[in-house]
Structures are given as C-alpha cells and as structure tokens.
Amino acid sequence: MLMRLRTRVDARRRGVVLIAVLLIVVVLSLAAFQYSEWITAEYRATDGYTRSVQTRALADSGVHYTAALIGNADAMTNTLNGNPFDNAQAFQTVVVLDNGSSRPAVFSILSLRAPDDPNTATQAYRFGLADEAGKINVNALMQLDNGKGDAG
C-alpha cells in the first residue's frame, strides 16, 4: 500500500517538473531575445555616432584643404590654375581616406550657380568657391542711412 502511494505522488511531481522546466526555457529564451534586441540597438546607435563624427571630420578637412589651397600662392597657380571658383578637378570628390573599403572617405566643395549663369539649366551647382565680397550687406546699408530707407 505504501508503495502505491509513493508512485502516485512521484508521477504527479514529474509532470510539475516538466512544466517548470518548460517555463524556465521560455523565460530564458525571451531574455536572450531581449538582450539580442538591446545589443542590436546599441550597435546601430554606435554606428550612427561614428558616422556623424566621421562626417564632421570630413567637413573640417574640406575647410582646411580649401584654406591651404587659397593661402598658398604656388598652389593657387599650379593646383587651381588660378581658378578657385569653378574647378571640378580640385574640388570634386577629394579622397581623404581610402582604406580599401567600398566607401572611401571623400568630400566635395560646392557652390550654387547664379540664376543668370548659362550652365544653371544643366547643373544648379558648381565645384568651387563663391566670392561673397560683391554682395550688398543690407543690414550695413540700413545703418548708414539711420533707418530712413533713402540711402543711395
């Protein structure tokens, strides 16, 4: 009699253990999935930050490259051929870093074309610099006539 009672109790416990193991496996699977999603999000955030820092560094290198070309009379004559305003050879897709990847680090110096430029219809921008010295400063003009509006 005692043997039969134990067998029935053990049989009930074996079923409970199976359900407990199943629940533990499900919880661990969900935890692993959540961890995987978290790591993927962290990777994307890190990749985005790295790309933004590289973009900023490329923009800064473009500014320094242009300043070095304009500041050196020899480079202005030889590299730019005396034309810093529309010179695709010097300002289009300048390679900064080529490490053998499919996407080398490059920059380009762009300026908008004037509306009366005949090449505006084909391409709205050009590779080169813009001369800001010829523009009228409206704020300075208003200060010259003390805000009356009759300067000129």
Look at residue 12 and tell me whether its pLDDT is greater than 80: no
More confident: 36 or 11: 36
CB atoms within 10 A of CB 51: 10
Q: Tell me the per-residue pLDDT of 92-108, one tens digit each, with 9 for 90 and over.
A: 988 888 887 778 888 88
**Residue 128 · residue 87 · CB < 8 Å:** yes
For residue 26, what are the CA distances in angstroms to 20, 29, 33? Answer: 10, 5, 11
Look at residue 53 and tell me whether its pLDDT is greater than 70: yes
- Predicted pLDDT of residue 44: 98
Q: Tell me the per-residue pLDDT of 20-52, one tens digit each, with 9 for 90 and over.
A: 999 999 999 999 999 999 999 999 999 999 999
Residues recorded for the chain: 152
- Answer whether 0.75 is exceeded by the pTM: no
> How large is the average pLDDT for residues 50-59?
92
CB atoms within 10 A of CB 98: 10
Contacts of 9 (CB under 8 A, 6+ apart): none
> How large is the average pLDDT for residues 99-127?
83
- Predicted pLDDT of residue 10: 57
- Predicted pLDDT of residue 120: 78
> How large is the average pLDDT for residues 2-27?
75
